[in-house]
Amino acid sequence: MSSYFEVSEYQSRLDRATDRCRDAEIDALLVTPGPDLRYLVGYHAHAMERLTCLIVSANGPHRLILPTLERETALASPISELDIELITWEETEDPFRLTASVLLNAKQVAVEDRMWAVKAFHLRTNMPNAEQIPAGPVLAELRMVKSAAEIVELQAAGAAIDRVHAMVPDFLQVGRTEREVATLIAEAIAIEHEQADFVIVAAGPNSASPHHLPSDRVITHGDVVVVDIGGTTQTGYCSDSTRTYSMGEPSANFANDYAELLDAQQRATASVKPGVTCESIDAVARTALTGADLGDLFVHRIGHGIGLETHEEPYMVAGNTRPLEPGHAFSIEPGFYRAGSAGARIEDIVVCGPDGPILCNDRPRELLVVDTGDNT
């Protein structure tokens, strides 16, 4: 399986970025290694102290400034088939001065959001007459609407993390620590994806901490265990899915609360369609949980965008009045958390399709009861 899209996909992205620069009267985008560079040209460059910088020009040729020793790696990417001039620099040269020399007349440049601060400062020093602004408003607008090819990759990432969740009941054993289970899950994610990005295994009272780090707490019969996991595939697209497990049959109160959570998650998912606002997705679940006396225990937004990063635009949160468009991809992950007791979360990745939601995950969302062999 290739880690690249068709060259036409990248050319389209470059063309749209160029158009947005012209519309915003930006002379150039300056993009260093990271998700924005991979998005625009497919070059998954290593972020390091040496400067690699793509210059997307509004009214001129696009250029890639890079160390000589990185030239062959760059040419192995789609860059070799795109209309981009490669300008290399030697170890004794100043790459920031070199970058400035090809942008002598620039009055406004957009610096990508993930650029190291020290590099942004060096560029500012060498381009005193050019105003620096964040590139996020340009690039985020492009990246948040996924193409058909990207949706396929997100579905593949979702299927990969589903396969890992299918293994989790075997990993969850009374007597194992959260950390031991997390290690097994991370190994499975790396096999099903290209790399594991994060593993949350939160058992018992720890399940009430949404971003709990796996610890040496031993899993016991009667525990609720929240498992929130994600990885990155070969093409760079991310997965993120949460399921809640019960070590043996749960209490009646917890089972009732979980049923309300499942209802809220399903209602929010069903509400996804073009034209509804991002904040409305959050409101649907929050209203349902509030009606079940769980609203005060839902302490985070319902979701975040996903793509080449686990968290990116658009965010499903109160105050975000952006209307959904076909191609917006995001998580829907309501939860409730009782400090010192237990918590639960259900998370799927959803794409806004032309007629409603397209789900990237297909594992059961009901509370998953793990047989501990304890019948007392």
pLDDT of residue 107: 95
Mean local confidence (pLDDT), 125-131 = 95
Give start and end residues of each alpha helix (H) in the chain: 7-23, 35-41, 71-75, 95-101, 117-126, 136-143, 148-171, 178-192, 252-270, 278-291
Domains and CATH numbers, the chain: 7-143 (3.40.350.10), 148-370 (3.90.230.10)
Counting residues of the chain whose pLDDT is more than 70, the rounded percentage is 99
pLDDT at 201: 98
232-252 pLDDT, tens digit each: 999 999 999 999 999 999 999
Residue 281 binned pLDDT confidence (cut-offs 50, 70, 90): very high
HEC secondary structure over 122-151 = HHHHHCCCCEEEECHHHHHHHHCECCHHHH
Is pLDDT above 60 for 376?
A: no
Which residues, in sequence order, are CB contacts of 368 under 8 Å at separation 6+? 169, 243, 244, 245, 246
Q: What is the pLDDT confidence band of residue 375, given thresholds at 50, 70 and 90?
A: low
CB atoms within 10 A of CB 180: 17
Q: Report the chain's mean pLDDT, rounded to a whole number.
A: 96
- Can you give the pLDDT at residue 373? 82
- pLDDT for position 369: 97
For residue 219, pLDDT beyond 90: yes
* Mean pLDDT confidence for 360-372: 96
Q: What's the pLDDT at 165?
A: 98
Here the tokens at position 144 are 């948040």
pLDDT digits (tens, 9 = 90+) for 153-177: 999 999 999 999 999 999 999 999 9
At 2 the pLDDT is 72
10 Å Cβ neighbour count for 170? 9
**For 81-114, how does the pLDDT look when each residue is reduced to its tens digit (9 = 90+)?**
999 999 999 999 999 999 999 999 899 999 999 9
Q: What angle separates helix 148-171 from helix 178-192, to the nearest 10 degrees? A: 140
**Tens digit of each residue's pLDDT (9 = 90 or more) over 25-76:** 999 999 999 999 999 999 999 899 999 999 999 988 999 999 999 999 999 9
Which band of pLDDT confidence, cut at 50, 70 and 90, is reported for residue 1? Answer: low
Task: Write the single-letter amino acid at 151.
Answer: I
Residues 6+ apart with CB under 8 A from 339: 205, 208
